[in-house]
């Protein structure tokens, strides 16, 4: 395939970025989207030009670092996959592909397609843990019976990889889907109930401090989430927050 690429280039956080046009040929349909960018970067390096900076680590849908806006969609046109799992067979010869970083005030661009998602780390740090004594007193997992549905829902919430697609998809740049998944994975389990009140208040406070917008129930986040995190988690977080704040 021969493709036309329009890619966001930005030298650093302080500089003004712009879209730059590139042509690429010989793209195989079995290549992943990131492999296609690798090929482009090799050709740029061979020409003495600066390669395009983009984030990646696992390249198998686990780490959440490959945050790319592809033709206006976080992680591109496929569903329930990350940009690194997207394959070029989704495109056809002669296509133009627009590639940008995720856009949100709380996710400033570091360089080209790489954004700073440490705001998510700080939300996680505000409550994404349980305080347990692990110094030789660990209780066998089966000692606390847990309802199967609750365990499944907690596990589903825990599959959030912190990629930020929910924020990028939302017209308000809301981080409610991410934060609610992090709240839910603890709130649904007995071990997480001990600190549930402080957890939801601290995580929501941090989310607001970071400058994310509010949820207006458009559901774009759920549609674009590569892990299928359900909007039900947002409703659960709102209930948790209401209960926590009414306790005073
Ligand atoms: S909720 Fe989904 S889209 Fe948002 S950070 Fe988690 S995995 Fe990514
Ligand atoms: S590179 Fe890890 S999820 Fe894409």
Q: What is the pLDDT of residues 65-105, one digit of tens each?
A: 999 999 999 999 999 999 999 999 999 999 999 999 999 99
Tens digit of each residue's pLDDT (9 = 90 or more) over 96-154: 999 999 999 999 999 999 999 999 999 999 999 998 777 787 778 788 899 999 999 99
Q: How confident is the model at residue 248 (pLDDT cuts 50, 70, 90)?
A: low
Distance 181 CA to ligand 1 centre (A): 8
Mean pLDDT rounded to a whole number for the chain: 96
DSSP label at residue 72: T
**Which positions ≥6 away from 10 have C-beta within 8 Å?**
16, 17, 18, 101, 109, 111, 112
Distance 87 CA to ligand 2 centre (A): 13
Report the distance separating Cα 242 and Cα 236, nearest Å.
10
Our mutation pick for probing the ligand 1 site, out of 55, 181, 207, counting the most ligand atoms within 8 A of Cβ, is: 181
Distance 34 CA to ligand 2 centre (A): 10
Q: How confident is the model at residue 6 (pLDDT cuts 50, 70, 90)?
A: very high
Q: How confident is the model at residue 169 (pLDDT cuts 50, 70, 90)?
A: very high
Name the closest-CA residue to atom 2, ligand 1: 225
pLDDT at position 243: 95
Our mutation pick for probing the ligand 1 site, out of 102, 161, 223, counting the most ligand atoms within 8 A of Cβ, is: 161
Could you give all domains of the chain from N- to C-terminal order, each with its CATH number? 3-111 (3.10.20.30), 117-246 (1.10.1060.10)
**To 10 degrees, the CA torsion angle through 79, 228, 73, 38?**
-70
């Amino acid at each position: 395939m021969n493709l036309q690429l329009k890619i966001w280039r930005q030298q650093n956080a302080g500089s003004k970025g712009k879209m730059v046009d590139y042509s690429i040929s010989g793209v195989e349909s079995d290549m992943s989207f990131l492999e296609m960018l690798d090929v482009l970067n090799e050709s740029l390096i061979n020409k003495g030009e600066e390669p395009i900076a983009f984030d990646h680590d696992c390249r198998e849908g686990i780490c959440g670092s490959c945050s790319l806006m592809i033709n206006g969609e976080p992680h591109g046109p496929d569903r329930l996959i990350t940009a690194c799992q997207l394959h070029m067979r989704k495109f056809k010869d002669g296509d133009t592909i627009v590639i940008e970083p995720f856009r949100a005030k709380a996710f400033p661009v570091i360089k080209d397609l790489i954004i700073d998602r440490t705001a998510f780390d700080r939300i996680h740090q505000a409550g994404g843990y349980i305080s347990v004594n692990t110094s030789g007193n660990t209780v066998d997992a089966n000692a606390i019976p847990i309802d199967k549905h609750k365990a499944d829902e907690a596990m589903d919430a825990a599959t959030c990889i912190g990629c930020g697609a929910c924020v990028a998809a939302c017209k308000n740049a809301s981080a409610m889907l991410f934060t609610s998944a992090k709240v839910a994975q603890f709130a649904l389990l007995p071990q997480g109930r001990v600190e549930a009140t402080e957890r939801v208040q601290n995580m929501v406070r941090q989310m607001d401090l970071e400058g994310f917008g509010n949820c207006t129930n458009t559901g774009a986040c759920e549609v674009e989430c590569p892990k299928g995190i359900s909007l039900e988690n947002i409703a659960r977080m709102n209930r948790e927050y209401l209960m926590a704040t009414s306790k005073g």
